[in-house]
Structure 1
Amino acid sequence: MSTDHQKYSTENQSTAIRAYAAQRGLTIVRTYADEGKSGLRIEGRDALRRLIDDVEGGSADFDVILVYDVSRWGRFQDADESAYYEYRCRRAGIEVEYCAEQFANDGSPTATIVKGVKRAMAGEYSRELSAKVFAGQGRLIEHGFRQGGAAGFGLRRMRVNQHGERQGILGIGEQKSLQTDRVVLVPGPPEEVETVRWMYRAFVQEGKPEREIAETLNGRGIMTDLGRPWTRGTVHQVLINPKYVGHNVWNRVSFKLKRKRVRNRPDMWIKAEGAFAGIVAGPLFEEAQRIIADRSRRLTDEEMLRGLRTLYEIHGRLSGLIIDEMEDLPSSSTYGHRFGGLLRAYRLVGYSPRRDYRYIDINRSLRRLHPEILAEIITGLKTSGAVVQRNEDTDLLTVNGEVSLAVVIARCKETPAGALRWMLRFDNGNDPDILVAIRMDARNERPIDYYLFPRIDQTAERIRLAEENGLSLDAYRVETLDLLYELAAPVRIRAVA
């Protein structure tokens, strides 16, 4: 369960499961419960992981697993993931029964169809809930309420009730206790407020850079809101944050449905100007932003890369924090905007970060592999006697002047559960008569099989392939392209007769 305020609380589930067991003469010997955990990902689901380990490790002292309903495996965005965990239990010889469902989990076609629908519905529920929560949070931002995050130096979080009456300052790590309460930002202690104003004046009016401001603050014994010494980066964050002029800004970064964290474009931000009392004058703040923007605009691409290359030689590595700490370089966000992402800027100066970016190399390798596979297919067609023409712009093949072929490579991806998946996009723009889809192995080094889709069945823009897909998809699967070559071989009319 993810919250206490729902029918899926572990207590309610336990009651229903015990009643189900009593009616059928089953004895419950062990309980696995993930309390207060999101079902969107397997990460954090320690009890579910322990269940799978016990089942597959042979230490299970039970014959049946009782689950409240299909959605309790998880509200995964990939419906096959919850099916995968059930499959692993059944493969180990442990039956799975659902206590609150209206069907028997007996492997019948009806049960299979219903479970598939319910798994998809569980994922859709999370998507709809995410959209509703996002809209609600956006409305609260527009009304001037804070949606998480530390207040920052010079500001404090104030708890207010539903009537807007102040209820007290929240300390670091404290949260409001009532759902109807809200949080707003208010000016902090006078000495902190004056320090923030001095930082802006020193930067705008006196021309002091961020590093010099940080050194001055540290020399005065002033610490950040987290009790740490000031750095060039922490001063920079104060100078660019619109909350100091009273603007409430949200959705600069998204992390929806526990997926990849993305930095949104400014036009996607939700902003309420003058939502609360600012501690810095608007013109002073705007002038600080202009200075920061002009500082990066003066540099050419080559000058920016030269500075980044020098920084790499000094530190032996690069990161956003290291870049932001350099006084004479633009910020890391400026590098990202100028060069289409920090990773590309790193590559231009010869730096490869330790983080796993193998998917980029895989995509690059597959792009190199595509012409080779295309040449092999052309050779195979010609060997069978077919006449093949290739469109140099689209790589579309025309066989015997009658049939067009498009060749696509499906990269293999591993889900968090360890299952393999392939995303296949139909090349509808070229409208081929036959789409030859090549499914790569787990290392994306060589083809493992092929799918031949005729135009009449290319109805969707994309499909997701699993290791086993059922007759509806695997009917198009072949181990080799020999069938394609045989079909392409020209046959004399006399021989047919």
Structure 2
Amino acid sequence: MRRAKRARPAPRVRAVQYLRMSTPQQPHSLEHQAAAIAVHAQRRAYDIIRSYEDAAVSGVGAKRRPAFAELLATVLGGQADFEAILVYDVSRWGRFQDPDEAAHYEFLCSQEGVRIEYCAEAFGSAGSASDVLMKALKRAMAAEFSRDLGEKVRSAQRRYAAQGYWLYGEPGYGLTRQIVGADGAPGRVLARGERNADRQLRTILVPGPAEEVDVVRRMFRLCGKEGLSAGAIATRLNQEAIASPSGGRWSGERVRHILRNPKYMGDLHSQRRTTPLGGARRATSESAWIVAPGAGPALVPRTLFDAVQAALRVERAPDDEALLAALRPIAQVHGAVSEPQLKALGVPHHRSYRRRFGSLRAAFALIGQAPPKHFPKRRLSEEALLCGLARLFLRERDLSPRLIDADPNIPSTDHYHRRFGSLAKAYAQIGFVRISTVDAQSAVGQARVRARELQIRVWADRPFASSGGDCRPNSGSQAIDFL
């Protein structure tokens, strides 16, 4: 009697799981996600070979999600040794404010032969019209949840700020933070860098170390009663070896920042800057500020604070000749220096030179210290200017205004501003983006570094540049007359 042949078991599918939780207040979230994914994997005969986890990371964007970036780099780099990515639900993949962004990352993975499976969702694998519509709806709902939650948090923060509570990080020199109960009962003082982890408690400002309070009061007296400028006050503090908040030397800007801040007379100003969900931080209009008069400790009386503001308004308005006069002794000793060096030397209004004269280089030129670069009267084509940036990058491995101004083969940064509108726009045309050292250590960052160099090399090798490295147009290149 012939034995029946045994059916061969279906090959198991190699998969990875992606887990994400938004805040540390969800200590078991990753564990619950992994348990649900394990059940899904067992039913589908999947072997989970690896786990990618982003703990306490917002899902509104792809930035600052190292595990998500590593996962994408593995897939898009052709290094995926798995066929599926298992995610608990649509919101764990991300609460992207543009739902198309979530679909975009999913599409990129599918192009590389890796599918995304949401274990707690009822989506089928056939991609029917109803599944596509439901997935798009879920993505929009995930984004809306973040927007709604963000608005509730902002509303609560505005209410607490109006009541005089401190909602932010370090309070600044001369002040410290103290915990208070809901009934106003004072608690312990928070150490520098410590956070209030109890949501039932609030934080207020109280006077800081006595020596810092004395320095703050002395600054206001020196400016409001003795008429010293912020730079002169910084010089005196440095001569007396009084350390700044960072432990280093005082500068006029640091002193001015303290003298202008109304919290030292007890008024707390909040919501002066805002960060839209998934966006960049920006300043708000004065009408949107929240002011809590007298909510903080008044280290100086209001009359003295007002006198200091009047003195600072006079100090802020030097004429052109006064600015150039302050620059001449610097140039005699140090030559043409950069803006950070001016700041370190204690020169007041170091930012005013750029606003008043277009650039610090132009201001030095007016006192005969930094003549502009000599270039032919017929200006360079835009292609030649971009070629010069590309070759400068390949030599220096970076681009910055300082490097551009120091390179004798290309015009100054002012010229690039006039031709392209900004340095950023010129950088974008050659493919230069700044990649931080931390980002460059990740797989995605390394891929971006390689792609950036390849694109910039294309510009550096353009035939309209001469072989000597000078990107001025040769006889075969286009030149445009100066306007």
Alignment of 1:56-205 (within 5 A): 56-205=76-225
Whichever structure has more strand as a proportion of its residues is 1
Q: Secondary structure at the match of 2:188?
A: strand
Are residues 196 and 19 of structure 1, via their aligned partners in 2, closer, same or farther at CA, if it must alter by over 3 Å? same
Question: What is the distance in 2 between the residues matched to 1:361 and 1:83?
Answer: 38
Q: What number of residue pairs does the alignment pair up?
A: 365
Question: What is the distance in 2 between the residues matched to 1:22 and 1:80?
Answer: 31
Contact 2:123 2:135 in 1 (8 A): no
Contact 1:3 1:9 in 2 (8 A): no
1:283 pairs with one of 267, 286, 303:
303
Question: What is the distance in 1 between the residues matched to 2:148 and 2:129?
Answer: 28
Aligned to 2:75: 55
The CA deviation string for residues 32-67 of structure 1, in whole angstroms up to 9 with x for no partner, is: 111111222322212112212222334333222111
Are residues 137 and 204 of structure 1, via their aligned partners in 2, closer, same or farther at CA, if it must alter by over 3 Å? same
Contact 1:142 1:270 in 2 (8 A): yes
Question: What is the distance in 2 between the residues matched to 1:119 and 1:223?
Answer: 52
Question: What is the distance in 2 between the residues matched to 1:278 and 1:61?
Answer: 63
Aligned to 1:242: 262
Q: Which amino acid aligns with 2:108?
A: R
1:90 positional shift: 0.8
Alignment of 1:265-304 (within 5 A): 265-296=285-316, 298-299=317-318
The CA deviation string for residues 144-164 of structure 1, in whole angstroms up to 9 with x for no partner, is: 111112122221111222222
1:280 positional shift: 0.5
The CA deviation string for residues 59-118 of structure 1, in whole angstroms up to 9 with x for no partner, is: 333222111112222222222221121112111111221111122243222222222222
Contact 2:251 2:346 in 1 (8 A): no
Q: Secondary structure at the match of 2:144?
A: helix
1:272 positional shift: 0.6
Aligned to 2:44: 24
Contact 1:98 1:105 in 2 (8 A): no
The CA deviation string for residues 383-419 of structure 1, in whole angstroms up to 9 with x for no partner, is: xxxxxxxxxxxxxxxxxxxxxxxxxxxxx9x9x999x
Aligned to 2:66: 46
Contact 1:157 1:169 in 2 (8 A): yes
Question: What is the distance in 1 between the residues matched to 2:155 and 2:200?
Answer: 17
- Percent identity, aligned pairs only? 36
The CA deviation string for residues 325-370 of structure 1, in whole angstroms up to 9 with x for no partner, is: 75543x75x899x88xx9x7779979984799999966789x9xxx
Contact 2:326 2:347 in 1 (8 A): no
Contact 1:73 1:85 in 2 (8 A): no
1:274 positional shift: 0.4
Q: Which amino acid aligns with 2:127?
A: G
Are residues 208 and 76 of structure 1, via their aligned partners in 2, closer, same or farther at CA, if it must alter by over 3 Å? same
Q: Secondary structure at the match of 2:200?
A: coil
Question: What is the distance in 2 between the residues matched to 1:13 and 1:308?
Answer: 64
The CA deviation string for residues 127-159 of structure 1, in whole angstroms up to 9 with x for no partner, is: 222222112111111111111121222211112
Question: What is the distance in 2 between the residues matched to 1:132 and 1:114?
Answer: 27
The CA deviation string for residues 419-456 of structure 1, in whole angstroms up to 9 with x for no partner, is: xxxxxxxxxxxxxxxxxxxxxxx99xxxxxxxxxxxxx
Question: What is the distance in 2 between the residues matched to 1:44 and 1:281?
Answer: 44
Aligned to 1:405: none
Aligned to 1:396: none
1:231 pairs with one of 248, 251, 266:
251
Are residues 103 and 258 of structure 1, via their aligned partners in 2, closer, same or farther at CA, if it must alter by over 3 Å? closer
Question: What is the distance in 1 between the residues matched to 2:326 and 2:154?
Answer: 37
Q: Which amino acid aligns with 2:256?
A: H
Higher deviation after alignment, 349-358 or 196-205: 349-358
Q: Which amino acid aligns with 1:151?
A: P
TM-score (norm 1): 0.64
TM-score (norm 2): 0.65
Question: What is the distance in 2 between the residues matched to 1:364 and 1:316?
Answer: 22
Q: Secondary structure at the match of 1:174?
A: coil
* Unaligned residue ranges in structure 2 (runs of 5+): 1-20, 366-371, 373-399, 405-412, 426-430, 436-443, 446-454, 457-483
Are residues 113 and 12 of structure 1, via their aligned partners in 2, closer, same or farther at CA, if it must alter by over 3 Å? same
